[in-house]
Amino acid sequence: MITITVANQKGGVAKTTTAITLAHGLALKGKKTLVVDLDPQGQAATILGLEQEPGVFNLLVGGRSPAEVIRASGRERLALIPGDKNTATAQIVLDAQRAPISRLAETLKPLAKEWQYLVLDTSPSIGGLQEQALWAADTVLIPTAVDYLAADGVARILETIAVLGDRHGWRGTLLGVLPTFYDDSTAESERNLGALQTMYGAQVLTPIHRATVLRECASEGKTVWEYKPTSRAAEEYARLLYKVLEVL
């Protein structure tokens, strides 16, 4: 089982869209893939056309087994452990219990018997479940909007990863930095993408352009592979998908 954590400590960078699109792409390529929604906004369920549920809370605090909280997505080989506002309560409880950094990884470990990929969607808040999700990762993907604060959000995640390595012996890898909301018609996007490339070099992946179709997908409860598989957005996410399959 390969665990991919999608993370950034800045909100509004298309983390959930990226997590769901990648997960469904893996499923379409024949890989049994499970998404775990660790963001209290619970939008992974919304994007898949499902109801938000306290699945993560029930798993981490309520004593439920993974099998009890997994929900079918209506798509072959793709399922979800949903989250909702109760996920924030789960984080408070785990912090109060001083749960070890490995708590989430140990809880998810039994899933290796059934699932080939886990995709962990995280909240932008530092600490708690985000750090546990990073610790659980075999590889980390950092989506980042191409704006003037982009480099700051990426730097914070990389700092957290470095701390996990130094203090806890994390041995995962960085899949890459994924620029999102890119608009090549504006000088700002060009300038900020260039700054990311200067700072992080080959770790910067091919950007995902700003696209109305991705907003429409969310409102329809469909992924881009279902809604408009021939769109530029689908082609760009396909590059990410093949990168994952090649590297992992």
**pLDDT for the residue numbered 2:** 97
**pLDDT for the residue numbered 149:** 77
Low-confidence ranges of the chain (pLDDT < 50): none
**pLDDT for the residue numbered 31:** 98
How does pLDDT run across 90-100, given as a tens digit for each residue? 999 998 999 89
How does pLDDT run across 122-169, given as a tens digit for each residue? 998 776 899 999 999 999 999 999 987 777 889 999 999 999 999 988
Indicate the pTM of the whole model.
0.96
**pLDDT for the residue numbered 153:** 85
**pLDDT for the residue numbered 121:** 97
**pLDDT for the residue numbered 231:** 96
CATH of domain 2-247: 3.40.50.300
Sheet strand arrangement including 139-145: 71-75, 78-81, 33-37, 117-121, 2-6, 139-145, 173-180
- C-alpha to C-alpha distances, 185 to 119, 168, 212, 220, 233, nearest whole angstrom: 32, 44, 15, 28, 16
Work out whether strand 78-81 and strand 71-75 pair parallel, antiparallel, or are unpaired: antiparallel
**pLDDT for the residue numbered 147:** 87
